[in-house]
Amino acid sequence: MPLHNKGDKKLLRAWASYDWANSVYFLVITSTIFPLYYGYVCGNQTHLEVFGIDFKNTALISYVTAMAFIVIALWSPILSGIADYMGNKKRFMQFYCYLGSAACIGLYWFNLENIYWGLLFYFLALVGAWSSLVFYNSYLPDIAFPSQQNRISARGYALGYVGSVLLLLINLFMVLKPEWFGIVGDDGSASLLAMRYSFISVGVWWFAFSHIAFYHLPRGNKDKVYTKDIFFNGYRELKMVWNNLKELIFMKRYLGAFFVFSMALQTVMLVAAYFGEQEISWTGEEKTMGLIISILLIQIIAIFGALFAAKLANRWGNIKTLILLNFIWVCLCISAYFIYEPIEFYIVAGFVGLCMGGIQSVARSTFSQLIPETQDTTSYFSFYDVAEKVGIVIGMLMYATLDQLTGSMRYAILFFVLIFLLGAILLIRLQRKNNKTLAI
């Protein structure tokens, strides 16, 4: 393993390459192929009975997603604490990467006959993808100087969009022209089989390309002696961060605003493909092509959106940029309530792409710049991650419950207008109290 100095361009490129490896999960599994596959597998069964309870099919997948994030929020502090204590967080990042990629391959067997196994693989893939990002994000202040962090954070997202779009294009041709790949079947079964092969391709891609980052990234930034208390060290470190926030007033207020707008952002992004699959008036086979094209549109525009947001943050300041992006998301959620036609969905998708990568990238780099000068970066990013995941749990549970009770995903989406508005208000209050010594 080569040794790199902080700020080394080769190290920064290697770190960003994990976005290239990992982002295929979020595009193919979370955003496009799996939601389509799930819709086709469910067919006319709008309700499914699981564990003796009758669920609306979209509400069911939302509840499973929420349960996965509960596990992530509870378990990741323990593992991140152990990783930080052992000074080898790369091993834990690898563990979650391998778990997630293997579970993606397991989705090949997802069907209504194996619904419990299918949901388990979906659950484990989600846990692996999001948990690995705890350790990935925590490397940012370790490997990059503050002046580099906006740019390298945006580069990571941009690489992720490029890589995931590339694999999605391959999967798109597999689904639309399965015979080109030797996949045969009748009455659409070949396309469904191609979707299942796409899940395998995600697992293999994720596993293979992740080793670029693993080869160059350092083991960690600490060496400590083991004690019997290592298991709960993560929670103690979270408590330490919480206590430190009493002195770090600006960071505490930022985390409050982040918790709110991230709750809405991540929930809407997680359910967007299911919304498009069920609520838009597609005709014939237009659904498969239309939904994938719209997600591709989001990803391509998001490449430029992330880079533009980084430049805007450097010029305006991070907080002002986040305020603007929150107000745009308010408009997008309102628009989503009124759209029915594919062309309307494409237009909204374009604006989603413009804002999606930007708000994530700027939010991550803002927090990175607020961390005190300490080597204990994993604990701070673990706290950041737990705040994000608890927000997702609350957001997904609210969304699933509204979907289950009203029978319409539109009312659930409309509800998040209020959440984005609250996030914008909290950021405005934060900007007014911003200390001029903070260059954000």
**CA–CA separation, 65 vs 109, rounded Å?**
19
User: Residue ranges of the domains in the chain?
Assistant: 20-218+231-432
- Residue 412: Cβ-neighbour burial (10 angstroms; 0-12, 13-18, 19+): buried
Q: Which of 348, 338, 366 shows the shortest CA–CA distance to 257?
A: 366
Contact between 321 and 364 under an 8 Å Cβ cutoff? The reply is no
Residue/partner pairs of 47-51 with CB below 8 Å, 24 or more apart: 48/112, 48/115, 50/115, 50/116, 50/119
**CA–CA separation, 202 vs 210, rounded Å?**
12
**pLDDT above 90 covers what percent of the chain?**
16
Q: What is the pLDDT of residue 237?
A: 75
pTM of the model: 0.76
Contact between 425 and 261 under an 8 Å Cβ cutoff? The reply is no
pLDDT digits (tens, 9 = 90+) for 277-302: 778 887 766 777 777 788 777 777 87
Contact between 160 and 298 under an 8 Å Cβ cutoff? The reply is no
Angle (nearest 5°) at CA 123 between 193 and 111: 30
Q: What is the distance between the terminal CA atoms of the chain, rounded to a whole angstrom?
A: 35
Fold (CATH) for 20-218+231-432 = Growth Hormone; Chain: A; (1.20.1250)
Collapsing DSSP states into helix, strand and coil, what is residue 151?
A: helix
For residue 295, give the H/E element and its range. Answer: helix 286-316
Rounded to a whole number of angstroms, the CA Rg of the chain reads: 21
Report the amino acid identity of residue 108: Y
Regions of the chain where pLDDT drops below 50: 223-226, 228, 436-437
